Structure 1
Amino acid sequence: MRIALALLATALAVSPVPAAQAPRTAVETLAKDSAERWVPFELTPANHIRFAMKIEGRPASALLDTGVTHSILDTGFARTARLKTEVRGTAAAIGGDLPLSWARVARLSLGGLRSTERPMALLDLSQVHTGDGRPVDALIGADLLGPHALDIDFASRRFRLLPSGVAPFPGDRAPLSRNPEGLYVTQARLGRTSLHPVMIDTGDGTSVSVTREQWRGARLPQRPLTSTISYGLAGPVEAGLTVTDALRLGDAPATEVELRIEGKDFADRTGIPSRIGVGFLQRFRVLLDPGAGHLLLASIEGTAAGPPRSTSGLLLGYGHNRLSVLHVMRGSPAAKAGWRRGEEICQVDGAPIRETAPDAADLAWAADTPGRKLRLGLCDGTDRTLTLAKFY
């Protein structure tokens, strides 16, 4: 059995494929006062929507992920809860297949939603990198969320599930439905290219992703193009990266949108060539209501027009009080200075690298003000200078 899975973030990418049917005997009820049952959340450093919930009566730390066809439980959590495995199979991810099994969860609660006898896929979620070093117990996907309206209030860091058909706030409207695999899809326009279907993926921390063919067909005004990398549960994937004002999603304003330009692997395996993630959605209050056939976007006052941009060109990983270079962005100050993947940094301007949170360090300097000159101490004892600059 296979499951469609698409959890992406600043350094995470997993490609979904059409899913075989999971066991289906769940019974769900949405409370009459569900509008009052807000679920508080936090945005992780990698733009994941993290919240607390109850699974089998146990506290669980979960991510909201409309890019997952069936909700997923971590294998370690399932062992602790003594859940019985029912079916085995694989999940197709970028870089290879992952072992997969299924279990039935007797009790699950989320805001005003109660679900019993819920089949959930089991995967090792220890490699889900949220950037805060904390474990992930579950990914709550389209199977649970799709029958309802999902109201995400990014300004107040809270969400709720509502009956389909309500409109709790005015906003710009765009079409929304669920494809045969159950994923949320809409349509948009990029320059001269119509994008359809476009996945709305709350498990994707980036802004907007398209294929190279779509990007070329859009015939956008020329802007600098660089490169980036994402790490999936089964391996890394490199993509192009630029910023554009040419995206249109309904009537919602969309300036300075970060655009990832990928190969066709994702599109070929899913039939979905484009994705919109939290990096874009967090500019708005969002209502996702596929049952009513639309999504609503209401702009949040004071939200930055565009995403933070690297000014160093170094994409870094942290471990054991040192930073490892995972990728050197094309055309960046680091690329021009000859930096290479695998080099390790132990000091920044004479200060040693230290943890600011479990498995995380302060990387604000890598996207600091253009013109700043950094002295970076490598772990082999040598020093280098790097002058920050805007390059895309």
Structure 2
Amino acid sequence: MPGLTRHGWRGLPGVAAGLLLSAALLFMAMALHAQGSPPTARRFALSLVQGAAWSPTPIEVHRGLILFRAVLNGRDATVLLDNGAANSFVDRRFVDPSGTAPRGAPYVASTGAGVLRGHAVDGVTLTVPNQLDIKGTLIALDLAPFSRIVGRPIDAVLGADALDQLAVMIRPADRTLYLTASGKMTPRSGAKAFSLPMSAAGRISAQINDEPVLLAVDLGSNGAIRLSDAAFARVLGPAATNRRTAAANADGQVRTAATANAAFTLGPVRANIPVAAGGVLPSGLDGRLGMAFLSKFTIILDQRQQRLTLVSR
């Protein structure tokens, strides 16, 4: 596969550059993963655009995060794509600028060092033009702290409660996003691609320094790999903790985390890439695989089919 060898990363400087960006402009590991609090049950209807009316959506890659334009309650909005977020969210100031609308059931999401508190909002309509419509109840959170870290207003997050029903294709080369029914997305004939099985919880098996790790595919992280502290110590050892990088979660709090380069093996690919510690993770998960690595490919993620496909660019 062009640019990829069994011995290292060749001709792909973006991973190293991504680490420098993370160090200077923070590691945007979205921590809306509701650790310690189960995800809210989906209470919205999702419908896909069919036939000739369907077309892909342009994306903006901003500091390694995938943003796109949508229509939220009839107004233009900037949406973050993040299957690592258990739920889809809207910014509470966007849907209720006066702060006087009735509030629904409370919601709490842990960021590892603190919590984000929100509430359910009924009657929300989120439209990704020419691709899908969501109508129903979404969670409203104060996304302002994370927006300040990103440097752009984030009005909504399209999370796992929607994306896990779909086949999602991201084409970084032409900056487009494809959202279709599960099972309907495959690489074109002759493409240099490989597919990896995923668990029902969205986890894939990989190796770091030849040690097995279980990783979640996280489209809402701009890092390469972020491990739990325990997994980082296991695969890299205590000597690797003398290098630090800045990290920020959705609450806007900035922390530092140990970082080291390591040999990463995923399917047929072996690459030397940066690995950070300090991830907010559920039990049994070693880390998250983010866009600094994934964006080197065209990505096809189909959670219902339990398959991740990476296509060489």
TM-score, normalization by structure 2: 0.80
Equivalent pair of 1:71/1:121 in contact (CA under 8 Å): yes
Residues 1:149 and 2:167 are matched in the alignment: yes
Equivalent in the alignment of 1:258: 274
CA distance in 1, matches of 2:38, 2:259: 33
Equivalent pair of 1:83/1:104 in contact (CA under 8 Å): no
> Alignment partner for residue 163 of structure 1, among 169, 181, 195?
181
Residues 1:175 and 2:175 are matched in the alignment: no
CA distance in 2, matches of 1:39, 1:52: 8
Q: 1:83 deviation in Å?
A: 5.8
Residues 1:228 and 2:242 are matched in the alignment: no
Question: How many equivalent residue pairs?
Answer: 280
CA distance in 1, matches of 2:157, 2:96: 17
The aligned amino acid for 2:309 is: L
Cα separation, partners in 2 of 1:113 and 1:14, compared to 1, 3 Å: closer
SS state of the match for residue 122, structure 2?
strand
Equivalent pair of 1:192/1:219 in contact (CA under 8 Å): no
Deviations 1:225-284 (A, max 9, x none): 51112122163332111222x212222x3423111123xx723x5543200111111111
> Alignment partner for residue 64 of structure 1, among 66, 81, 90?
81
Mean Cα deviation higher: 77-86 or 149-158: 77-86
Cα separation, partners in 2 of 1:281 and 1:103, compared to 1, 3 Å: same
**Larger RCO, structure (CA 8 Å, separation 6 or more):** 2
Equivalent in the alignment of 2:203: 185
Equivalent in the alignment of 2:7: none
Equivalent in the alignment of 2:120: 102
Percent identity over the alignment? Answer: 23
Equivalent in the alignment of 1:20: 38
Equivalent pair of 2:301/2:307 in contact (CA under 8 Å): yes
CA distance in 2, matches of 1:121, 1:224: 37
Cα separation, partners in 2 of 1:33 and 1:188, compared to 1, 3 Å: farther
The aligned amino acid for 1:157 is: R
Residues 1:205 and 2:222 are matched in the alignment: yes
SS state of the match for residue 266, structure 1?
coil
Q: 1:48 deviation in Å?
A: 1.1
The aligned amino acid for 1:39 is: T
Q: 1:13 deviation in Å?
A: 4.1
The aligned amino acid for 1:193 is: E
- How much is the aligned-residue C-alpha RMSD, in angstroms? 2.8
Q: Structure 2 unaligned segments of length 5 or more: list them.
A: 1-21
Mean Cα deviation higher: 64-73 or 22-31: 22-31
CA distance in 2, matches of 1:266, 1:239: 12
SS state of the match for residue 89, structure 1?
strand
Q: 1:154 deviation in Å?
A: 0.6
Cα separation, partners in 2 of 1:35 and 1:249, compared to 1, 3 Å: farther
Equivalent in the alignment of 2:65: 48
Equivalent in the alignment of 2:288: 275
Deviations 1:151-188 (A, max 9, x none): 00011111111221231334111112442xxxx32221
CA distance in 2, matches of 1:69, 1:282: 22
Q: 1:107 deviation in Å?
A: 2.2
CA distance in 2, matches of 1:299, 1:121: 36
CA distance in 2, matches of 1:283, 1:225: 28
Equivalent in the alignment of 1:76: 93
Equivalent pair of 1:11/1:231 in contact (CA under 8 Å): yes
Equivalent pair of 1:34/1:162 in contact (CA under 8 Å): no
Mean Cα deviation higher: 223-232 or 72-81: 223-232
Deviations 1:285-320 (A, max 9, x none): 0000111121111122xxxxxxxxxxxxxxxxxxxx
SS state of the match for residue 90, structure 2?
strand
Equivalent in the alignment of 1:347: none
TM-score, normalization by structure 1: 0.65
CA distance in 2, matches of 1:84, 1:34: 40
Cα separation, partners in 2 of 1:103 and 1:254, compared to 1, 3 Å: farther
Deviations 1:297-353 (A, max 9, x none): 1122xxxxxxxxxxxxxxxxxxxxxxxxxxxxxxxxxxxxxxxxxxxxxxxxxxxxx
Equivalent pair of 2:224/2:291 in contact (CA under 8 Å): yes
Mean Cα deviation higher: 139-148 or 128-137: 128-137
Equivalent in the alignment of 2:57: 39
Cα separation, partners in 2 of 1:294 and 1:56, compared to 1, 3 Å: same
CA distance in 2, matches of 1:292, 1:23: 21
User: Of the two, which has the highest radius of gyration?
Assistant: 1
Equivalent in the alignment of 1:288: 301
Q: Structure 1 unaligned segments of length 5 or more: list them.
A: 1-7, 301-392
